[in-house]
Amino acid sequence: MPPRRINVVTVSPPPKSDSKPSTITARDRNTNVAMAAPTTEAPPTEFAVALFEGFQALDAFGPLDTLNLLSRRDKDSNRKISLSVLAATKDAVSTAAPDAHQTIEQWVLPTHTFDDAPDNIEVLIIPGGQGTRKPETTQPIVDFLHARFSKLRFVITICTGTVILSRAGLLNGVRATTNKCAFDWVVEASKEGSPKVEWVRRARWVDTGKIWTASGVTAGMDAMFAFVAQQYGEDVAASIAETQEYTHEWSGAKRIA
């Protein structure tokens, strides 16, 4: 199956008096235009996912499975893609929040704590989930962001994971999105740490360069495919999507400058 051909379309939004122009990729289901061409910088190889009690399983596992296949496809190249699983301790982390009325859960064993995380992490993935409702549950990630954000090349949040970035004070003046079902809660919960977020309600994901924010759950897979297409090439992303038999949304991104 030949890779899908995608053109790049640039759209100028109405001027806003209180903000500076920025470049984002905001996916709207009613928009059928294209994503940006692959970057000319070397693609990242050091990934990490930050977990907490009550993270949403597919928020994490959807994007991670794409990385699994990316690493398999990339095995013959000179680069080696690696993943660190970070948490507050090395104890297994549950997908169920401590107070959740949930009878099914999965557990993930971290490879590192936030204190001994590798120094060379380039991409940090932050899922959402019920655990984001309690700030104390995700405070270790907020602290990690305070210490490491300047060294990271990219941060990708999925669903309500956006609120963790805002609590860290990293979304002021930044366009972002989150789970549509929890949108109002995230906006309200973000006001203390990042009161000036430029929220994009009708986005599948938003790419501001360093910070990528995805809407709810499955949108994280679309955002990750868009990220892989940008960094490794659209043919690579299309090949992985075909292997997963995934009907993707990333080929319909809207680039706003």
Q: Is the pLDDT of residue 111 over 70?
A: yes
Q: Where in the chain are the domains? A: 32-96+105-256
Integer Cα distance of 203 and 218 in angstroms: 13
Three-state SS at 21: coil
Stretch 4-16: mean pLDDT: 31
Residues 197/212, Cβ–Cβ less than 8 Å:
no
The per-residue pLDDT for 76 is 60
Give me the chain's average pLDDT, please: 84
Q: Domain 32-96+105-256 carries which CATH code? A: 3.40.50.880
The per-residue pLDDT for 9 is 25
Q: How confident is the model at residue 31 (pLDDT cuts 50, 70, 90)?
A: very low
Task: Summarize pLDDT for 157-173 with one digit per residue, the tens.
Answer: 999 999 999 999 999 99
Phi, psi of 230 (to 5 degrees): -70, -40
Phi, psi of 114 (to 5 degrees): -65, -25
Q: How confident is the model at residue 41 (pLDDT cuts 50, 70, 90)?
A: confident
Task: Summarize pLDDT for 217-257 with one digit per residue, the tens.
Answer: 899 999 999 999 999 999 999 999 999 998 866 554 443 32
